[in-house]
Amino acid sequence: MKRNPPATVATVSALALALSFTVGSAHAGARDELNRFTGGLRSASAAFNQQVFTSKGKLKESTAGGLAMQQPKLFRWVYTKPYPQTVVADGTKIWVYEPDLQQVTVRQQGAEEANSPLAVLINPSRLDAQYIVKEAGTSGGLQWLSLTPRKGVDGGFTSAKLGFNKGLLQRLDFTDGLGQRTTISFSNWKRNLSIPASNFRFTPPKGVDVIGG
């Protein structure tokens, strides 16, 4: 039986894009919070909780896990609940491993990640070139920045909002072309830690099915 991977694998994998960037001039509000978060960032880890809602607002999917990322474009995104899944970007390919299905899906790492809303976290120099950016005020104790893709930019979403507090990304909300809304809450951020290189390599276990290449 083939199970669809958790929604937004491609979107969230943008966390692993190049972590070298040019920080823009300071802005008040959420833009300033974005600059605080990205300034000097070389590597990071965090825990996350993710929920996906249908266009009618019904909860479709709820997942949780942790992530690690490192420049230039390495990441490891691990879902622990409700089904274990590991997503690894080694700089060339993206590997999606579902141990309960004994299945690995592999594809080239490319432009799909580059246009994600999370790409601005690690390459804010592209922010205004790719998105219409607006301060979205304060709500729920967070300062919000809204992003709307410019014409010709396909990031897999129609609108997105980044919520910051004390210089850390706390939440990402975005809506896709089908009207589905995804919210990702982040916690326990750790910046510029030493991450073993083995975390960003993946070798399919013996006996699993490998799809793609």
Per-residue pLDDT tens digits of the chain, which is 213 residues long: 445 445 445 445 443 332 333 333 334 589 888 888 888 888 889 999 999 999 999 999 999 999 998 877 788 999 998 999 999 989 899 999 999 999 999 999 876 565 566 656 656 667 788 888 899 999 999 999 998 888 877 667 888 899 999 889 999 999 988 999 999 999 999 999 999 999 999 999 999 999 997
Cα 97–chain centre separation: 17
Q: Going by C-beta distance under 8 Å and a sequence separation of 6 or more, which residues neighbour residue 211? A: 103, 104, 105, 106
pLDDT value, residue 55: 94
pTM score: 0.80
Q: Tell me, what's the pLDDT at 128?
A: 80
Spatial CB neighbours of 4, under 8 Å, sequence gap ≥ 6: none
DSSP H or E run through 129: helix 127-130
The rounded distance, in Å, linking the Cα atoms of 93 and 72 is 14
Report pLDDT for 14: 42
**pLDDT of 43:** 87
Confidence (pLDDT) at 35? 84
For residues 185 and 49, the answer to whether their CB atoms sit within 8 Å is yes
Q: pLDDT value at position 91?
A: 86
The structural domains of the chain, with segments of one domain joined by +, span 9-212
Hey, what CATH class is 9-212 in? mainly beta
> Which residue bears the tokens 């804010």?
124
Helix ranges, the chain (H): 9-12, 30-38, 111-114, 119-122, 127-130
Is the Cβ–Cβ distance between 21 and 123 less than 8 Å?
yes
The tokens for 212 are 């793609």
pLDDT of residue 99: 95
62: closest CA among 188, 187, 182, 189?
A: 182
